Amino acid sequence: MRNFTDIPIISHCLPLTDNVGLKETDENFVDIFTYSNGAIKVNMQYAKVKIPSAIQKAYVRETVAKKLSEAKKLLPEGFTFEIFDAWRPYEVQLSLFNNYREQIVKQSVIDMTEEELTKKVCEFVSFPDKSKRVSYVHSTGGAVDITILDSNGNRLNMGTEFDDFSEKAYTAWYEQNGSDEQIKKNRRLLHNVLCECGFTNYPAEWWHYDFGDSFWAFYTQNEAIYSSKYEEADVKNDD
């Protein structure tokens, strides 16, 4: 496996996207598994654990699908991507937000104001706001939760599981703290091939990458190009 550059150490706080502009492009959603002829694997985690309204298919914008296919070509021979989540319905996002909020309340040893509590929850789970043209990034088709499978179909060891909301999930954690060189290399591989193809990473989650949404706009200093869609009917194509 070729060597890749270090993952940069940047703030893992939720990007400040209220002032991000939107220059919307009218672009179709596609099912990435069908688009890639099955080359990119899909294992939708929220459907797997039966969160209400969670879906089985990984819908992304067509340019995102193209860039994922380009990034796959940069992986070692026989390796591929596995998608944990992509476009996410409103009801699923709201369930995730409320569930994580309850978890924090139960685990907290100090009293927090509502503002402090919401800020803490939003470090990992954005609040879905239908009043905004661009709400949580998984509503846009620009965000993907992703990992790498080796040539035997096994997931590379990234140090934590998907949706592990701990410091070890910070993308660059092993650059500073970890002694496991293989985990560091695995995260670098994922980070490098996706960023080389135009994606940005949310630094609090090694698995989360964006193109065209408000996180991507924040980190690249561009306008977002994808607005939010909340219902499956708005993104579903007859594949």
% of the chain with per-residue pLDDT over 70: 97
- Examine the pLDDT at 239 and tell me if it is beyond 70: no
Q: Say how far apart CA 82 and CA 33 lie, in whole Å.
A: 10
Which of the four pLDDT bands, split at 50, 70 and 90, describes residue 1?
A: very low
> Which burial class, exposed, middle or buried, applies to 147 when counting CB atoms under 10 A from its CB (0-12, 13-18, 19+)?
buried
- pLDDT tens sequence across 23-47: 999 899 999 999 999 999 999 999 9
Listed in sequence order, the residues at least 6 apart from 4 whose beta carbon sits closer than 8 Å to its beta carbon are 185, 188, 189, 191, 192
Q: What percent of the chain has pLDDT over 90?
A: 70
Between 82-86, 123-127, 201-205, 217-221, the lowest mean confidence (pLDDT) is in 123-127
Q: Which of 152, 148, 122, 127 is nearest to 209 (CA)?
A: 148
pLDDT band at 125 (very low <50, low <70, confident <90, very high): confident
Q: For all residues of the chain together, what is the average pLDDT?
A: 91
Domains and CATH numbers, the chain: 29-234 (3.30.1380.10)
Residue 123 scores a pLDDT above 60: yes
Which CA distances in Å does 220 have to 61, 75, 115, 202, 224? 19, 24, 28, 12, 10
pTM summary value: 0.92
The residue that leads in pLDDT, 72 or 2, is 72
